[in-house]
Structure 1
Amino acid sequence: MTPAINMAKKNKISFKVHEYEHDPAAEAYGKEAAEKLGVDPDTVFKTLVVSAGKDLVVAVVPVMKRLDLKLLAKAVGAKKVAMAEVKLVEKTTGYVVGGVSPLGQKKLLTTVIDSSAEGCETVFVSAGRRGMDIELAPQDLARLVKASFSPVSR
């Protein structure tokens, strides 16, 4: 059980947990998840944390795309954003990098989900551990983390 799964259960949303054997040598964890779960990679999203001045912001983007920092900055009304340092991400979210879930973080951070998620019936995001994803409706994800949808990938 992870904080992400506990959050989904507590809020009584519909979800499924999917586990797979994580390969520590995998170069792209999200791509690995899509392949091992046998799902459309467009429905698998990675959770990235960026610094926007003194604040941290979570971006949830498709694993096969890149986060567009300029679009994210615009979406959150920041002049500039940059990838956050690993130690800060792990300390703030309570998760290890590669297993950061947008759900159940220690502190609720401003969260932006790439607008492509709105076209999916369900999406897969980390369940809080490498080798474990949680599948849920993008609208439920957004509601639970008080996220907005915006185009933030390319």
Structure 2
Amino acid sequence: MSTGTPATQFLRRAGVAFRPVEYRYDPGSERVALQAAEAVGLPPGQLLKTLMIEVDGRPACAVVPGDRSLSMKRVAAAFGGKAAAMMPADKAERLTGYRTGGISPFGQRRPVPTLFEAGAMDCADVAINGGKRGLLLLLAPGDALAALGAQAAPLCA
């Protein structure tokens, strides 16, 4: 599998150090993030999933630990809105240029405001989708924030 994706290109251009890790993606898994964490031998809280959302109808991105769930109330507040909802998969794919199960916050077709779960910032390294199914990128969470111009906030229930 080639590890050249818009996400890896984005990070290279930004000068961010990362390590690609490939795994066997299982689309039938009930909880894909947990399956990915197990496949690469990481604790589920260290693998961050990329969730495309809409806040007051505007697109946004939330990056949260694989074993946690978003609090839509917290998400809306963190983005300065009143209501938040998950973005439909087909819309997320068109917006990001990635397929579900492979959406990365890096190198999206149309960049959107992005927030990371604050609790994930305590890890030395995190794994974030690399822009295709079966590819994770290991990097420091602070480097991910800096590259995206993102911030951390409490987003999970």
- Indicate the TM-score class for this superposition, using the shorter chain for normalisation: over 0.9
Question: Could you tell me which of 20, 23, 26 is aligned with 2:23?
Answer: 20
Determine if the alignment matches structure 1 residue 125 to structure 2 residue 140.
no
1:63 equivalent in structure 2: 66
Determine if the alignment matches structure 1 residue 95 to structure 2 residue 93.
no
Cα separation, 2, equivalents of 1:11 and 1:112 = 18
Partner-residue secondary structure (3-state), 1:129: coil
Q: CA deviation at 1:28?
A: 1.3
Partner-residue secondary structure (3-state), 2:36: helix
2:57 equivalent in structure 1: 54
Provide, for residues 92-127 of structure 1, a one-character-per-residue CA deviation record: whole Å limited to 9, x for no partner: 000011110011101110001000111011111100
Provide, for residues 10-54 of structure 1, a one-character-per-residue CA deviation record: whole Å limited to 9, x for no partner: 112110000011122211111011100001211101000111123
1:78 equivalent in structure 2: 81
Cα separation, 2, equivalents of 1:104 and 1:23 = 24
2:108 equivalent in structure 1: 105
Determine if the alignment matches structure 1 residue 134 to structure 2 residue 137.
yes
Code of the aligned partner of 2:40: L
Cα separation, 1, equivalents of 2:28 and 2:100 = 14
2:154 equivalent in structure 1: 151
Give 5+ residue unaligned stretches, structure 1: none
Cα separation, 2, equivalents of 1:105 and 1:111 = 11
Partner-residue secondary structure (3-state), 1:50: strand
Q: TM-score, normalised by structure 2?
A: 0.95
Partner-residue secondary structure (3-state), 2:145: helix
Cα separation, 1, equivalents of 2:86 and 2:51 = 8
2:35 equivalent in structure 1: 32
Cα separation, 1, equivalents of 2:27 and 2:141 = 28
Alignment coverage as a number of residue pairs: 154
1:2 equivalent in structure 2: 5
Percentage of identical aligned residues? 34
Code of the aligned partner of 2:105: P
Cα separation, 2, equivalents of 1:24 and 1:54 = 28
Cα separation, 1, equivalents of 2:34 and 2:45 = 10
RMSD value, Cα: 0.9
